[in-house]
Structure 1
Amino acid sequence: MTDLATEKTQEHSDTTAAQPTAAQPEVRWVEPAPKKRGKKKLWFGVGIPVALIACGAVAVGTIFTAPGVTVLGADVGLTTVDGAQEAIAAAIADATVTISVDGTQETLTGTQLGLSVDAAKTARDIKNAYPLWNIGNWSPGSVDAELAVDTQVASDALSEAFADKYSAPVDAQIEYGDGGYSVVPAENGQGIDIEALVDDLSAELAAAPAVQALAAGVTPIAASSSPSISLVASITETEPAFTTDEATETVESLNSAIDSVVFSLDGDTVDAVPAETVASWIDVAVTDAGEVQIATKNDEIEKYVAEVPGRVDQPATEADVVVDAAGNVLKTITEGHDGYKVTSTEGVTDTISAALTSMQPAEVALTGEKVAHKTTERFRRAVVSKSEGYSYFYETVNDGKEKLMKTMPMALGTPGHDTQVGDFTVYAQLTTQNMGDCDADGNLVPGGRFGYCTANVPWISYFNGDQGFHGTYWHNNFGPGAYMSHGCVNLSQADAEWSYRFLQVGSPVKVVA
């Protein structure tokens, strides 16, 4: 192993006459010389005793920083890591910053402005980048360090120092009313542009003249002074902690959440909670930091959940419908409903609470069973027998045996206005109509196509052009051999109403001779 040592460039036979020169001694790697008993020491021009280097160049380079290194206005050359850390921290904490705003001046310290730097990391980084042994990196001047600022501390200090330059922003508010949440807009305030101020401050500190942190020698001592900087600050608008846009987004989520609490069983929605009820389950608050906090009233949720089985449980209700020959539903007599039985609501309150807290829809799948409802299908048709003078009305239930439901005497079309034979389908139904050449008030319009006007004809079911079943109040002649109409099937008013309700648009009608 070799040691770092100094060696004269020329020999002197008279050792008493030899004196150290003012020039920087040459440094090179040589074999270690034999130890001498004398106490004489050779010093670097930078104040490092050669004996210290002779003790171990690696150790010295590990401990000390090269000369001529400054950071944020503090001279950290020839310091240990601890000394550099102390100097950097002190320089930032005690720095004085004179700030001018619109002609007003105030002086604050780095501590008051919330300035900080990771002094320990910065000191280590500087020592590693500029070690004492690397002579080529001596005197680099100012090096970078990341300056941090606590904007709240800075804002508090500046707003106190320049109170007349500040107006506090007003947070947006969230209100509930008329079945939903709404936004009360925020208002911007004003104050010193802290971001711009910190940028200017960082640049000024980096360029600040070095403040000596060490005396001669290697023992670190506290800095005797810190940088003094003057800055001109600008006024800018300050946003509230909770902006109008943030409130609007929150309100949209809240309204969606309170409108989406539903219970399902086996895939069917069985209960939907009114938005107003859901809103009564939560308290919405916005903190000073602009954070939305939602607290749920679980006792109120639990009360509702406990009543869910009573609202949901029901036996199946059989549907009753009228269909055509193809099974298509023509009329629903009774709406069918599946039956439900809730067997457990365990964990439901927690599920709803978690969803509302995060402003999400709560679609709760209940534990239980569903009983599918059955359907009664009624196929209905009519037969008009001209020779018999009667109309017959039939019904088949669920593809069972056809049953004659009613027989009605009728009157048919007179000669020349015959009721036509064939297979037809009811295509229109009216409760009342003026027939023939009538005006809107039911009066005859002379010269019309039909030559008559019959007003307020009741209970009409058309199945073939202008021919159909209808009630008749102007005569009482019904049955075999009764020919009284212009082709329609005349029925009594009571029978016509019954046929109107029995048949539907789409029901088949067969007219036979």
Structure 2
Amino acid sequence: MTDTGSTPTAPATSASSDASATHAWAPAAPAKRRHRGAWWSGGIAVATVVALVTASLVLIAPGTAIAGVPVGGMTPGAAAEAVSTRLHQTQIVLTGPGSDASVTGADLGAEVDAQAIAQAVFSERPMWNPSTWFAEASHAQITIDRDKAVATVRSAAPQLFTDPTDAVVAYDAEAKTYIVTPAAPGTGVDIDAVLASLQTAFSAGETTVEVRPESVPVEAHTPTFVAQAAADQLNTMIANAGFYVGDERTVPVDADTLASWIELTTDARGAVQMTADIAAIQQVVDTLAGQVDREAEPTTVLADGNGNVLNTLTEGRSGRTLDSTDDIATAYAEQLAAGDAAYVLPVTVTDPAVTKVSRSIEVDLSEQRVYLRQDGAVVTSFLASTGTPSFPTFTGTYRIGWKLTIQNMGNEDLTKPPYYYTENVPWVMYFNGDQAFHGAYWHNNFGNVMSHGCINLRVGDAKYLYDWAPNGTVVWIHA
């Protein structure tokens, strides 16, 4: 059968089929479509809200400013960067006569603790808290690198600066002393005033500020008082410079020599520093042994017959030998650099030997002569005048008890014992009660008895005996 394009008819049913049922072929009804519009739109809204909430947790509240820099809606890191950038780019214009220079905050070494400030602002004013929105600006304290700022301003406006003159310490060879040339101050720009102007402008949100530089004195790197202290120390060193054995300055170092050894410089703080020439010091060290070494010299003491020391006749001297001179020059150079010019030498000391001598005085009445003996041998002798038979000089062994350089003898009242009076008797040496050796200026009859019991001597001989015989010297008188 030819297809005519009409709807096909169903085939005939069998005879046994339900005659009332009707069957036909037809396409299935299309499935019912789901509507997604509502949940999709809701998801977008939720995501947006979540994003906003999340942002509010990491951003600074709107309307917030640090100094004059708006930072609302920024993260703390971005805020810190914005604050630092604004400060570094702020222009400082130096005004005034002969000055039209301009520098930036970065040129001055200006800084703020932007990270800490931004973090503190965020902690106090987070976006999620509307009550903190549009609050007053937070303060940001500026600091500057003072040395960098001075160098920058000086480079930009050199006419605003004059250099100070340092104090100088120098050796005056004529006066043999160190003297000081005083310091003179210079002039510069008041950096604190520049910083104050920058702080005011930055806090107000201004990106350019005009500053009329204020002149201030600039102290010298080495002020006068520092130089004077160094000169005083050097002059003290001159006064005691040398090589010592104990407390004795055995080898002095004169001012010119010391000054030739020392070089003066100043350090970064302006302090005066001393360094010493080791090679020059070594030339003197090489001569030390010849000036230090010496033999011991004995001490001589006067003793009585029992060996008891009565007096020191000659003071001995210890011997000494300089030990190794290795490293003395280096050690002394270090000591000079520290301000100490008295170097104690290493020496071996030998104590002096002690020699005892014995002295005695012999008076021979029969000869009317006095003998001075040392270790038994006669040193010298003098004629004397001893006591008359009425006033004898007593024999025996005595000791000189006390001595007087001059004395009035007797009694001014001649009616009373001893019935004589003599003024200004010199070089008196008592040995037995009121009997004594003494000078007699009133007669020249020596070699004959003349006295009231004393032993008269010529004045010069009496002086010699006075100096020769100390208290305790033995006196032997015999006929």
What TM-score, normalized by structure 1, do the two folds share?
Answer: 0.64
Number of the residue aligned with 1:150: 146
Q: CA deviation at 1:198?
A: 4.8
Counting only pairs closer than 5 Å after superposition, residues 187-226 of structure 1 correspond to structure 2 as 187-194=184-191, 196-198=192-194, 200-201=196-197, 203-205=199-201, 207-209=203-205
Residues 115-140 of structure 1: per-residue CA shift (max 9 Å, x gap): 322x6xx2331243233783456656
Number of the residue aligned with 1:93: 88
**Whole-Å separation in 2 of the counterparts to 1:66 and 1:272:** 84
Number of the residue aligned with 1:221: none
Number of the residue aligned with 1:184: 181
Preserved CA contact (<8 Å) 1:321 1:375: yes
Number of the residue aligned with 2:157: 161
**Whole-Å separation in 1 of the counterparts to 2:80 and 2:328:** 57
Determine which of 293, 297, 300 is the counterpart of 1:313: 293
Amino acid at match of 1:115: G
Preserved CA contact (<8 Å) 1:71 1:206: no
Is 1:391 the counterpart of 2:388 in the alignment? no
**Whole-Å separation in 2 of the counterparts to 1:76 and 1:329:** 104
Structure 1 unpaired stretches of 5+: 1-14, 17-32, 44-49, 210-225, 397-401, 436-448
Number of the residue aligned with 1:20: none
Aligned residues with identical type, % of pairs: 22
Amino acid at match of 1:461: W
Preserved CA contact (<8 Å) 2:242 2:342: yes
Q: CA deviation at 1:342?
A: 2.6
Give the secondary structure class of the aligned counterpart of 1:148.
coil
Give the secondary structure class of the aligned counterpart of 1:245.
helix
Give the secondary structure class of the aligned counterpart of 1:300.
helix
Determine which of 355, 361, 364 is the counterpart of 1:376: 355
**Whole-Å separation in 1 of the counterparts to 2:308 and 2:469:** 15
Q: CA deviation at 1:282?
A: 0.8
Number of the residue aligned with 1:126: 117
Preserved CA contact (<8 Å) 1:386 1:511: no
CA RMSD of aligned residues (A): 4.9
**Whole-Å separation in 1 of the counterparts to 2:198 and 2:391:** 107
Counting only pairs closer than 5 Å after superposition, residues 284-433 of structure 1 correspond to structure 2 as 284-286=264-266, 290-322=270-302, 330-333=311-314, 335-361=315-341, 363-366=343-346, 368-378=347-357, 380-384=359-363, 386=365, 389-395=368-374, 405-412=379-386, 424-425=400-401, 427-428=403-404
Amino acid at match of 1:391: V
**Whole-Å separation in 2 of the counterparts to 1:297 and 1:161:** 44
- Structure 1 residues 153 and 128, CA gap change in structure 2 (3 angstroms): closer
- Structure 1 residues 282 and 473, CA gap change in structure 2 (3 angstroms): farther
Preserved CA contact (<8 Å) 2:68 2:137: no
**Whole-Å separation in 1 of the counterparts to 2:392 and 2:163:** 93
Residues 274-298 of structure 1: per-residue CA shift (max 9 Å, x gap): 2523332111123686232322211
Give the secondary structure class of the aligned counterpart of 1:125.
helix
Give the secondary structure class of the aligned counterpart of 2:232.
helix
Residues 482-504 of structure 1: per-residue CA shift (max 9 Å, x gap): 13468764446875565355235
Number of the residue aligned with 1:248: 228
Preserved CA contact (<8 Å) 2:108 2:152: no
Amino acid at match of 1:239: E
Amino acid at match of 2:119: N
**Whole-Å separation in 2 of the counterparts to 1:297 and 1:468:** 66
- Structure 1 residues 70 and 205, CA gap change in structure 2 (3 angstroms): farther
Q: CA deviation at 1:477?
A: 3.4
Q: CA deviation at 1:299?
A: 0.4
Preserved CA contact (<8 Å) 2:362 2:477: yes
| Bigger strand fraction | 1
Amino acid at match of 2:265: A
Q: CA deviation at 1:91?
A: 3.3
**Whole-Å separation in 2 of the counterparts to 1:134 and 1:501:** 109
| More displaced stretch, 66-75 vs 276-285 | 66-75
- Structure 1 residues 130 and 320, CA gap change in structure 2 (3 angstroms): same
**Whole-Å separation in 2 of the counterparts to 1:99 and 1:343:** 70
Preserved CA contact (<8 Å) 2:362 2:371: yes
**Whole-Å separation in 1 of the counterparts to 2:310 and 2:142:** 78
If you compute each CA radius of gyration, which structure gives the higher value, 1 or 2? 2
- Structure 1 residues 35 and 467, CA gap change in structure 2 (3 angstroms): farther
Residues 159-189 of structure 1: per-residue CA shift (max 9 Å, x gap): 97373x6544322111213333222222333
Q: CA deviation at 1:88?
A: 4.1
**Whole-Å separation in 2 of the counterparts to 1:148 and 1:492:** 98
Preserved CA contact (<8 Å) 1:72 1:142: yes
Amino acid at match of 1:154: V
Q: CA deviation at 1:319?
A: 2.2
Preserved CA contact (<8 Å) 2:435 2:455: no
Preserved CA contact (<8 Å) 1:413 1:485: yes
Is 1:116 the counterpart of 2:125 in the alignment? no
Give the secondary structure class of the aligned counterpart of 1:141.
coil
Preserved CA contact (<8 Å) 1:260 1:363: no
**Whole-Å separation in 1 of the counterparts to 2:475 and 2:40:** 136
Structure 2 unpaired stretches of 5+: 1-36, 410-418
**Whole-Å separation in 1 of the counterparts to 2:178 and 2:310:** 43
